[in-house]
Amino acid sequence: MAAEAVGVSPRAARHGNITRIVTPTISVRKRLREIWLSRELLIYLVRTEIKVKYKNSVLGLVWSMVAPAMTLAIYFFVFQIVLGNHTPNFVIFLFAGLLLWNLFSLGVLTGTGVVVSNAGIVKKVSFPREILALAAVGSACVFFFFQSIVMVLFMIVLHSGPDWSYLPVLVLALITGIVLASAIAVLLSSVNVYLRDTQHLIEVILTAWFWACPIVYLYQEQIAKRLGPKGLTWVYFLNPMVPLILSFQRCIYAHPTTHAVVNGVYTTFYVLPEKGMGWYVGLDAAVLFLSLVLFLIALAVFGRLEGNFAEEL
């Protein structure tokens, strides 16, 4: 009997002051706090997703490198060999842009469907559901990491060194990309519960979006030369991914302008804008700010829609 009495009091002392209140809506600040408290769950979900994805495949995670390498090979073949783009180390240029783009598009694409595909948990277990969308972006980050390794190998083989001074800019752009992808994933994952078209729509949008980014073509040659004289480059920069991708290319490809001898002719390639680091940092910071605002909006929208998830799924 005495042991039981002892069993009661520490319980009250330990958790007695933690009170959780379930209300019709949860404030954004509380949502952020709960996400933070569930960070371990986020890690488990990311780990689970990756494990499950490659559970029964012999090569496992190697596939996450093979698929982008294949894409890369195709783009390289088409642009450099078929279309005769002679930009030196074009592979590295392609890889720099694709790296960030793959992170972004994979995060957004899987994140959008994640609440619907995890209906079983969403309906039965209480946890901050935004975590699901964040986990999708998280696993995209893991793939990003593996692809980066491949890229480093490419850089070593091709003797193409990065511009180390731009590494902080790359990190800033990476963080910004993750925040932007998270914001869109959280927003669309909740909308997708009500409008299942979202999932299909986003695929189409992402395809278009890809071509609106300077990944397979040179920004300076194709965009700045054409839009610059008309003063319309700002239109191109309405795409928030543009400065982020340019930052990646600036750091990894390292040469805004390069030269090469093509068919016996000395040619200059204008790859990236000849701007200082401040220009990149300023643009990235602006996108980061907007992404953070969008993330908060996404949380608020998610919160509004979350209340009826269980009946819509």
Partner 1 sequence: MSDFAVDVRNVSKRFRLAHGQYNTVKERIIHGGRRKATEDFWALSDVSLTVPEGQTVGILGRNGSGKSTLLKCICGVLQPTKGEVAVRGKLAGLLELGAGFQQDLSGRENIYLNGSLLGMSKREVDRAFDAIVDFSELEEFIDGPVKFYSSGMAVRLGFAVAVNVDPDVLVIDEVLAVGDERFQRKCLDRVKLFQREGRTILLVTHSADTVRSICDRGVVLSHGRLIAEGEPGEATRIFRERLMAEGAGMSIVDPAEVAVPVAPGTGAAALPDEERPVRFRSVHRVYSGDNSVAYMTTGDDLTIRVEFEALHPVPDVVFSLEFRDDYGNTILRTDTSIIGIQIAAPRGISVMHFGVVDMPMLDGSYSFALGIQSRDGILYDWMEQAGKFEVMNPGKATGMLRMNVHAALISTESDLDSALA
Interface with partner 1 (CB under 8 A), residue total: 45
**For partner 1, the closer CB: 284 or 306:** 306
**Do 187 and 298 meet the contact criterion of CB atoms below 8 Å apart?**
yes
Report which of 101, 134, 99 is spatially closest to residue 241, judged by C-alpha positions.
101
Binds partner 1 (CB under 8 A): choice among 63, 76, 127, 279: 127
Q: Which residues 39-78 are close enough to bind partner 1 by CB under 8 A? A: 40-41, 44-45, 48, 51-52, 55-56
Q: Residue 267: which residues within 8 A CB-CB, separation 6 or more? A: 86, 259, 260, 261
Does the protein bind partner 1 through residue 15 (CB under 8 A)? yes
H or E element in which residue 107 lies: helix 90-117
Binds partner 1 (CB under 8 A): choice among 143, 149, 280, 308: 308
Does the protein bind partner 1 through residue 157 (CB under 8 A)? no
Does the protein bind partner 1 through residue 29 (CB under 8 A)? no
**For partner 1, the closer CB: 18 or 208:** 18
Alpha-carbon span 43 to 54, nearest angstrom: 17
**For partner 1, the closer CB: 226 or 304:** 304
Does the protein bind partner 1 through residue 21 (CB under 8 A)? yes
Residue 245 CA: distances (Å) to CA of 102, 217, 239: 11, 12, 11
**For partner 1, the closer CB: 122 or 254:** 122
Q: To the nearest whole angstrom, how small is the minimum distance from the Cβ of residue 46 to partner 1?
A: 11
Report which of 271, 249, 212, 290 is spatially closest to residue 99, judged by C-alpha positions.
249
**For partner 1, the closer CB: 21 or 265:** 21
Does the protein bind partner 1 through residue 16 (CB under 8 A)? yes
- Cross-strand pairs, 261: 266
Alpha-carbon span 271 to 256, nearest angstrom: 5
H or E element in which residue 54 lies: none
Does the protein bind partner 1 through residue 204 (CB under 8 A)? no
Binds partner 1 (CB under 8 A): choice among 145, 164, 194, 211: 194
**Do 133 and 115 meet the contact criterion of CB atoms below 8 Å apart?**
yes
**For partner 1, the closer CB: 135 or 218:** 135
Phi, psi (deg, nearest 5) at residue 266: -75, 120
Binds partner 1 (CB under 8 A): choice among 2, 4, 229, 264: 4
**Do 116 and 191 meet the contact criterion of CB atoms below 8 Å apart?**
no
Q: Please give the structure tokens belonging to residue 55.
A: 């559970």
Q: How many CB atoms lie within 10 A of CB 228?
A: 13
Does the protein bind partner 1 through residue 238 (CB under 8 A)? no
Does the protein bind partner 1 through residue 313 (CB under 8 A)? no
Name the residues that contact partner 1, by CB under 8 A: 4, 7-8, 11-12, 15-16, 18-26, 38, 40-41, 44-45, 48, 51-52, 55-56, 118, 120-121, 123-127, 194-197, 201, 306-308, 310-312
